[in-house]
Amino acid sequence: MRVSPTKLATFQRCPQQYAFQYVQRIPRAPTAAMTFGSNLHRTLQTLYEQGGPQTETAEQVKARLQASWSGHGFASPTEEAAYKALGETIVSQFHGQYQIEEGTPLLIEKRLEAPYEDVRFFGIVDRVDLMPDATLNVIDYKSTRYIATDVSEVNDELMQQLSLYAYMAKVHLPYPVRRLSIHYLRTNERLSFPPEAMGEGWLERAYAAAQAMVAAHETERFPAQLGDHCRWCPYTSRCRAYRAHTHPVL
């Protein structure tokens, strides 16, 4: 079975949400935050594909953002304009701050795949840089408001996702991975840490979760797992467990 870090994280969070999204394939309406993140990702992808910040002016990078902008999911023209202004600030700060970088991008928005036991992990990595000491830095862009200042504040989902990308990068490239980085776009700050921060046995745990996912497909059992994460679930109106929890029959 082929397993992406995103699918795996959804299944671990709530098998029922996973089933709505990936088994029944119930479409989710895009949110402003999702579209905003994609718009920034596309801008940085094309920027690096064309040579990086040092090859363009800040105005050209802002024009890239305009050219790749999607307006899906914004609640109103006012909200979209506010996000666009924020996006322009972010990309021009990025342009100024990353004229000179320690690493050289080797992979940009690259689809990777790597086997582990009977599972094939796959996904699109935002960026992998080759560092001066011939090691790899696996970078994930985040446009979220939340910004972790220490690795201990990074949630397990994101740690697992980054570690799986590092595992896949290691299979594809002849260099060791020495650094994982979360690049927070709203502040253009990077939080970097060694792969060992994930702790012992993380790959075995990811594999065990993937096996549970395979078993759920075989038995067609995807139990609901209520929690704080329900606040962000796009399927609350369809979820019986959520409705029973929020509107109990008296």
- Binding positions for ligand SF4, rule: CB under 6 A: 14, 16-17, 224-226, 229-230, 233, 235-236, 239, 241-242
Strand duo 119-130 + 104-116: pairing: antiparallel
Nearest residue (CB) to ligand SF4, 172 versus 238: 238
Nearest residue (CB) to ligand SF4, 29 versus 100: 29
Q: Distance of alpha carbon 158 from its chain centroid, rounded?
A: 7
Other beta carbons within 10 angstroms of residue 153's beta carbon come to: 10
Burial 16-53 (b: 16+ CB within 10 A, else e): bbbbbbbeeeeeeebebeebbbbbbbbbbbbbbeeebb
CB 142 to ligand SF4: min, Å: 21
Distance, CA of 150 to CA of 163 (rounded, Å): 17
CB 228 to ligand SF4: min, Å: 9
Angle between the N-to-C axes of helices 58-67 and 77-97, in degrees from 0 to 180, rounded to the nearest 10 = 140
Nearest residue (CB) to ligand SF4, 201 versus 223: 223
C-alpha closest to that of 168 among 132, 208, 244, 116: 116
Nearest residue (CB) to ligand SF4, 111 versus 229: 229
CB 239 to ligand SF4: min, Å: 3
CB 85 to ligand SF4: min, Å: 33
CB 148 to ligand SF4: min, Å: 23
CB 241 to ligand SF4: min, Å: 5
Nearest residue (CB) to ligand SF4, 184 versus 235: 235
CB 196 to ligand SF4: min, Å: 31
Nearest residue (CB) to ligand SF4, 150 versus 228: 228
Concatenated DSSP letters of 4-47: -HHHHHHHHH-HHHHIIIIIS----PPPHHHHHHHHHHHHHHHH
Q: Amino acid identity of 56? A: E
Distance, CA of 160 to CA of 144 (rounded, Å): 18
Nearest residue (CB) to ligand SF4, 7 versus 186: 7
